[in-house]
Structure 1
Amino acid sequence: MRETPDIRDRHDLDVLLRRFYGAAFADPLIGPFFTEVAGTDLEVHLPHIADFWERALLRTADYGRDPFAPHAALHTVRPLTAAHFGRWVQLWHASVDGLHAGPRAERAKAQGERIALVLLKRLGGGSTEGTGGGFVPLAALELRSVA
């Protein structure tokens, strides 16, 4: 069994984010938000999102952007629902778990869940308790890799 290292540096984040976005872009539920609605250019987007995660997990980068604004803009074109955020969280967890284990990996997963919940609430999604709206409780996830 191979040893799974924790997230150590920017290189690890870049590899993780490429794995995650590869799965997200291909996903039938959330992929269209990246490919059709936003027309995301991963090579342009990746350095900014890596700055965000580097700041959040390693405290070694500056991130001065508003992470809510792009999601609000997407939401005006095509509403983002609990199901979309739930799938994002599933893919994020699977991507992290497929590459890393340790305190930073756990913090990355917890931070991803918090971000999803905050964005959902700010976009008007309200509470996710008992909604049946598709948000998947992370404790129920058994995903360990992204195809």
Structure 2
Amino acid sequence: MRRFFQIAFPIIILLAAFGFVISVINNPVRVLQSILLFAGFAVLIYFLYRFYLSRKYGVPFMRSQDGPTKAQLRKAKRTSTVRSAGPPNRSKFKPATKQMKQNQKPLKKVPKKRSGPNLTVIEGKKNKLKPKKKDRASF
């Protein structure tokens, strides 16, 4: 089945391209008209979809965003592993050390790895002197 698609798919693409070239040669205005009609329907469907989203979910109808949203920036800052040094234009005054200590987040203490419990095996009595019970089937 896979071999069939490896052969059939390029043939279908070539036939479609050949048919398109023939139709352009025979009637170029009609081909241009059909392309514009298809593009118009695609734009209409897109705007209807955007209108539906704006009505149902409160998404803006037309996006007017040049960069990431505030929520995206906050999440990036929260999940970032690299801490920024701050703005390049620092003031000459340093904040008080007491204020700095209050602003710093306390580091989480890593719990020490504990070894498993020290268990010992206690061997119980083994009744080697006691004779085995006779099997009922042997009577």
TM-score (norm 2): 0.20
Structure whose CA Rg is larger: 2
Higher relative contact order (CA 8 A, sep 6+): 1
